[in-house]
Chain A
Amino acid sequence: MQTLNLPSYLDQSPEVAARFSKLKSRPLILDVKHLNKTFHTHTTLNDISLQVFRREFMCVVGPSGCGKSTLIRIIAGLETTTSGEVLLEGTQVSAPGSDRGMVFQGYTLFPWLTVKKNVMFGLEIGGRSPVESESEARQWIDLVGLSKFENSYPHELSGGMKQRVAIARALANNPRILLMDEPFGALDAQTRCKMQSYLLEIWKRVDVTIMFVTHDLDEAIYLSDRILVLGTNPSRIMEVIEVPVPRPRSSSQFLSPEFLATKARLEELIHGPEEAEAMPLPKIRLTHAGDDVE
């Protein structure tokens, strides 16, 4: 189908290759070993093993229902494992904790707290003094560019602003890893683009590792160092792709050969040729639907 003469997604320029070897020499932040998760009789995650390095940006993609959210929630400690273990900097995790921040797709700001109080939440319950948490919260709110809204309540903010506060709130806790489950899924395309570059900007300035679930392949390539592709039926890791697009990223790279090659590979993995054929055709015939096509 692809008539363009694309390079292989495996070809890496020397700089990119150097980046990856540096990345993999960094300490391990997250080590998932032989993870299994069964709901009743349905195996959602089957023998998943993966490693995430310090300051890495990893995206997780895969068809709907393949267990992306389940994986992220297990790492966050919100879901139990059936077997296998999750190690964060070498220590096993089993319950939620402030060392793993999370940003959800739905808006989960506390509606009864102002923006500032939301960001202060983790700091205060962590035992920091109110004055200290307030000044720290201010810095985080500044970082996401919402200083003007620090005394607003969540219902007074737009969706994008809410997610920025949610990111600030999670980062204020100084987590080792930031887990994000389709955080921009509910936003419109334009806001989404802005949020992506915001996030990269923040990630550049903060020492944090990010694991980011998305449906949007462009988003995954644009953001990640590596992309974890999960498959379903049977559940498995299909591939961990090292994104050959150099950093710093910009939207002009969306049409670069490396970008397109990576995207073609992702599409092949996720949609697969056999699945496209298996799609059942609708039995109904739309009025003259064929006329324009043939």
Chain B
Amino acid sequence: MSKGKKWLVPFGTLSEPRQLILLWISFALPLAVWAIVSYVPFVWHPLVKIDDPGGVSYFTRDALIERSTFKAENAKLAASGGHIATGTPANPVFLPAPHEVAVAFYKSFTTPPKRKGEKWLHESLWQSIQVIFWGFLWSSVFGVPIGILCGTFPFFSRITEPFVDFTRYMPAPAFGALAVAVLGIYDAPKIAIIFIGTFFQQVLVIANTTRKLDTSLVEAAQTLGANRRQLLFRVVVPGISVDLYNDMRILLGWAWTYLIVAEYIGASSGITFFINQQAKYRIYDNVFAAIIIIGIIGFTSDRILDWIGRQIFPWQKGVKKSLLRAILDRRRNSTQNTETANANA
């Protein structure tokens, strides 16, 4: 069906198979780069992993040595007729190969923590997700209504936005010490940092989205007799809902970026603590596994939100009628038909 059509059409649409192909490529490409750097020796491999220390006193088996040092020592040994060391080219420990990370990925869920009292990976993750959830929820509880009010009424815009604009330039982490002093060392100050990092942006972003609402819709509603309250709840809110929803998806992504900072505050916890511990033990495979898991969580949750969005906003152009929607519509129509039947009777 897409045969003969070009791949590069400005503002065009791609067929679903093509979208899927590109989705795979977008992940396969970085993975390929990583694999090449890891497995093809002459691309990078600045170190040598010692197989046989030979006559060098400070070489040990499996130690990683700079390639130049390795060569220099071997040259010395060759000159003095000593036992030459052997080794294979290697990358630094902080760049594990894909398969090592894949193994770590699996093992990180199955190996117990090194020390008693430390958390398993999934427990750390769960703690992080909770911090994000509460921080984002509290931010939205205040940020969404305030943003909508600011976008709708210049009064609210003038009375809040200058201050919000002023505050949002203060980096959220700067409030860390204060948050700990006020809220203790556990989850509360972390939630507060997520809140501070999200809230001020949220107000401004949502106010802007609200202002972009087509004013002719508002005017049409006014000529139909809508009062202020009705305008707000029956025109502004549904009118911006699609954009608002997408704003929230982006803001949620930002909240994740504040997570790492938030978790450093007070008693270090969650996924950040896990990553730091693993880095201290120099188990970089686990570090990568954890970072990738964050990516997977973010990516899948965004996909899920995207899917939900398409279910709840059926009036969007180009939205295919989904199964759920079809069921909802059928129910709506059948209740309608019974109503008409009753009216006719």
Contacts and interface: CB of A to CB of B under 8 A. Distances in A.
For B217, B241, B313, the residue with the greatest tally of chain A CB atoms inside 10 Å of its CB is B217
B230 A125 contact: yes
For A78, A134, A166, A169, the residue with the greatest tally of chain B CB atoms inside 10 Å of its CB is A78
A153 B314 CA distance: 9
Contact of B241 (A106, A112, A151): A112
A96 B219 contact: yes
Contact of B313 (A112, A166, A169): A112
A121 B221 contact: yes
B225 A104 contact: no
> Interface SS of chain B: helix, strand, loop or mixed?
helix
Nearest to B332: A151
Contacts of B339: 131, 134
B216 interface: yes
A101 B223 contact: yes
A170 interface: yes
Contacts of A104: 216, 219-220
A112 B224 contact: no
A110 B216 CA distance: 10
B223 A110 contact: no
Interface residues of A, number: 33
B222 A170 contact: no
Interface in B196-246: 214, 216-217, 219-227, 230, 234-235, 238-239, 241
Contacts of B219: 78, 96, 102, 104, 108
A95 B265 CA distance: 54
Interface string A239-271: 000000000000000000000000000000000
A54 interface: no
A173 interface: yes
B333 A151 contact: yes
Contact of A112 (B230, B315, B329): B315
Interface in A85-108: 95-98, 100-102, 104, 106, 108
A238 to B, nearest CB: 28
Nearest to A106: B216
A153 B315 contact: yes
B235 A97 contact: no
A169 B343 CA distance: 22
A155 interface: yes
A155 B225 contact: no
Contacts of A101: 223-224
Contacts, number: 76
Given A112-B239, A122-B225, A173-B225, A102 B220 contact: yes
Contacts of A102: 219-220, 223
Interface string A158-173: 0000000010011001
B5 interface: no
Nearest to B238: A112
A258 B219 CA distance: 38
B315 A169 contact: no
A111 B332 CA distance: 18
A83 interface: no
Contacts of A76: 223
A173 B220 contact: no
Interface string A114-158: 000000011001100001001100000000000000010111000
Contacts of B343: 135
A108 B234 contact: no
B217 A108 contact: yes
A121 B339 CA distance: 19
Given A131-B339, A153-B314, A155-B315, A110 B217 contact: yes
Given A104-B220, A131-B339, A153-B315, A98 B225 contact: yes
Nearest to B234: A125
B320 interface: no
A194 B317 CA distance: 27
Contacts of A96: 219, 222-223, 225
Interface string B320-345: 00000000010011000001000100
Contacts of B316: 155
Contacts of A131: 339
Contacts of B222: 77-78, 95-96
Interface of B: 214, 216-217, 219-227, 230, 234-235, 238-239, 241, 313-317, 329, 332-333, 339, 343
5 contacts: A96-B219, A100-B223, A110-B217, A112-B241, A121-B234
Given A101-B223, A102-B220, 16 more contacts: A77-B223, A96-B219, A96-B222, A102-B223, A104-B216, A104-B219, A106-B216, A110-B238, A112-B239, A112-B313, A121-B221, A121-B234, A125-B226, A125-B234, A135-B343, A155-B317
